[in-house]
């Protein structure tokens, strides 16, 4: 998923984390104290727990499956642990859905889809509910940003200034569209009156990734609810906490029971059951290309409507006439934001040979200036930890691969624990990279970039397109004729000219080749969530 320029498997366990003390009072980002957050020893019920973060914010964290507007245990009471990537400690454990729980959630969504409390609402009334939800998200912004920081590892300031506002903007955008998604009257002559209506698909199964838990949920819930569908949303098992909290706001906003159901669970169990369920009409997935291929196979048995937003290895081309400071600034944003955990990350930088050395030095200076590595609750932190130990080890393994392949470690190239803990990796830049190297061809999904050189415009385009992926891309040049010409030649769903990863909720987002199927956001994001029904009236009858 992309960066926004303005407001992109754990084992089940039931153990309780050790009690941690906290004396912080300020709600502002602050310096980390030795003990990271507190978990109240008093559980209000078995379905929720009181948590306190280093910024002093306290909240009641739901632990259950959100079905029919209530939090419930999983059918066999199995759980999965949420791990704090900064300290490597368990935050809490949440209930993990079984295939039986998926049946229950889908049944609730199917019932709600047919119930007049939802089906009979006008688009204006659906939109009002979405606008109310947007207002509630805005009111709870600090709590949601705190949970995202604690559970995901992204900086609190980023979560508060960019991620939560994105959720608000998406809900407001699609809330406003809910009574404006019109059909057509088609003139075929006086003998027939022909028109179309847009109808919801039914029950939508949605599966979101761990890199942007709140934003990816909003990208999927927004258009689905706008069009009148009901939803079973499966959270990433690594980062379930923020959306479980938002589930409370869905109920408070007034959505009828069963319209939105939110479940935790392992992909191999809950995710597979959701994708294959015969009563689910659509699957929308964001995640790896490998998992997307498996979802396509499973969904084919019932010929489900699918939307897939998968992997990427996006190129960023710097031509010889580019503004080097601008190119270095946006190149940094394009790969180092969100700990490099962005599907559209411009992780392949292609630089004209005449300015290669100047650019790499400017790029290194920009990283050293901005990419402050540290605790995500500290105000000065730009880069927090990778989300899990598994992802941390994956990125480090690719750094080793790059070294073995003969690329030059221009910057970083090592683990960078903070106070001896956490899944932190130093921002890493490889130079003297060849297009045959794995670090050039394969998605790493971390703060690691490969820089290669080119001689001509034609070679740059050929190198950019030499990939199984086609999600994002970027071009830096002062020649706008060249910019538009190259943009048309790039095989990608999105091209940024003189910027990188500045996506917008009003503009379609998606890829080509093995980067996915379909589009999210903008007006185009509505099409995957409705059927266009044609109605023919014989006027001669």
What are the residue numbers of the active site? 309
**CA distance to 8, 280, 391, 502, 537, per residue, from 394 (Å):** 20, 34, 5, 26, 60
Reduce the secondary structure of 312-351 to three states and give it as a string: CCCEEEECCCCCHHHHHHHHHHHHHHHHHCCCCCCCEEEE
* DSSP code, position 210: S
The conformational region for residue 171 under phi > 0 = left, psi -120 to 50 = alpha, else beta, is alpha
Q: Which of 533, 5, 446 is nearest to 211 (CA)?
A: 446
DSSP, collapsed to helix, strand or coil, labels residue 32 as: coil
Q: Which residues pair with 317 in a beta bridge?
A: 350, 475
d(CA 61, CA 520): 30
Residues 6+ apart with CB under 8 A from 394: 444, 445, 446
d(CA 155, CA 100): 37
Q: What distance, in Å, lies between the first and last C-alpha atoms of the chain? A: 53
- What tokens appear for 440 in the block? 């050039």
177-188 burial by CB neighbour count: b if 16+ within 10 A, else e?
Answer: bbeebeeeeeee
């Amino acid at each position: 998923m992309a960066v926004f320029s303005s407001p992109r498997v754990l084992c089940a366990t039931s153990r309780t984390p050790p009690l941690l003390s906290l004396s912080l009072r300020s709600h502002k980002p602050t310096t980390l104290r030795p003990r990271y957050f507190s978990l109240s020893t008093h559980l209000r019920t078995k379905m929720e727990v009181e948590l306190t973060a280093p910024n002093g914010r306290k909240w009641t964290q739901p632990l259950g499956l959100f079905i029919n507007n209530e939090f419930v245990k999983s059918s066999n009471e199995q759980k999965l642990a949420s791990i704090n990537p900064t300290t490597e400690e368990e935050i809490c454990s949440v209930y993990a859905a079984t295939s039986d729980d998926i049946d229950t959630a889908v049944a609730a969504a199917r019932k709600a889809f047919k119930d007049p409390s939802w089906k009979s609402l006008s688009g204006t009334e659906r939109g009002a509910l979405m606008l109310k939800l947007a207002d509630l998200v805005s009111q709870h912004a600090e709590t949601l940003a705190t949970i995202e920081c604690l559970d995901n590892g992204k900086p609190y300031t980023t979560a508060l200034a960019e991620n939560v506002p994105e959720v608000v903007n998406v809900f407001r955008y699609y809330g406003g569209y809910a009574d404006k998604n019109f059909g057509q009257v088609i003139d075929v002559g006086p003998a027939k009156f022909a028109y179309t209506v847009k109808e919801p698909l039914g029950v939508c199964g949605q599966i979101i990734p761990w890199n942007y838990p709140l934003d990816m949920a909003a990208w999927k819930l927004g258009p689905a609810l706008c069009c009148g569908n009901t939803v079973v949303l499966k959270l990433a098992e690594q980062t379930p906490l923020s959306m479980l909290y938002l589930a409370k706001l869905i109920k408070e906003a007034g959505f009828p029971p069963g319209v939105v159901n939110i479940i935790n669970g392992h992909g191999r169990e809950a995710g597979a059951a959701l994708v294959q369920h015969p009563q689910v009409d659509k699957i929308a997935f964001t995640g790896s290309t490998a998992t997307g291929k498996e979802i396509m196979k499973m969904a084919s048995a019932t010929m489900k409507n699918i939307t897939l937003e998968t992997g990427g290895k996006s190129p960023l081309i710097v031509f010889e006439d580019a503004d080097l400071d601008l190119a270095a600034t946006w190149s940094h944003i394009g790969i180092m934001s969100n700990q490099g955990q962005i599907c559209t990350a411009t992780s392949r930088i292609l630089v004209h040979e005449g300015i290669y050395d100047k650019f790499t030095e400017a790029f290194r200076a920009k990283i050293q200036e901005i990419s402050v590595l540290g605790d995500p609750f500290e105000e000065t932190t730009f880069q927090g930890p990778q989300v899990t130990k598994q992802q941390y080890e994956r990125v480090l393994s690719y750094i080793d691969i790059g070294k073995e392949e003969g690329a030059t470690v221009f910057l970083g190239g090592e683990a960078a624990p903070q106070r001896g803990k956490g899944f932190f990796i130093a921002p890493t830049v490889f130079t003297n990279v060849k297009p045959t190297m794995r670090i050039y061809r394969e998605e790493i999904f971390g703060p690691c970039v490969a820089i290669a050189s080119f001689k001509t415009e034609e070679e740059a385009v050929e190198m950019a397109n030499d990939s199984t992926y086609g999600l994002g891309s970027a071009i830096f040049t002062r020649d706008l004729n060249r910019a538009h010409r190259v943009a048309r030649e790039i095989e990608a769903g999105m091209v940024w000219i003189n910027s990188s990863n500045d996506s917008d909720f009003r503009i379609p987002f998606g890829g080509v080749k093995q980067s996915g199927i379909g589009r999210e956001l903008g007006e185009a994001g509505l099409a995957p969530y409705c059927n266009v029904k044609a109605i023919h009236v014989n006027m001669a009858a």
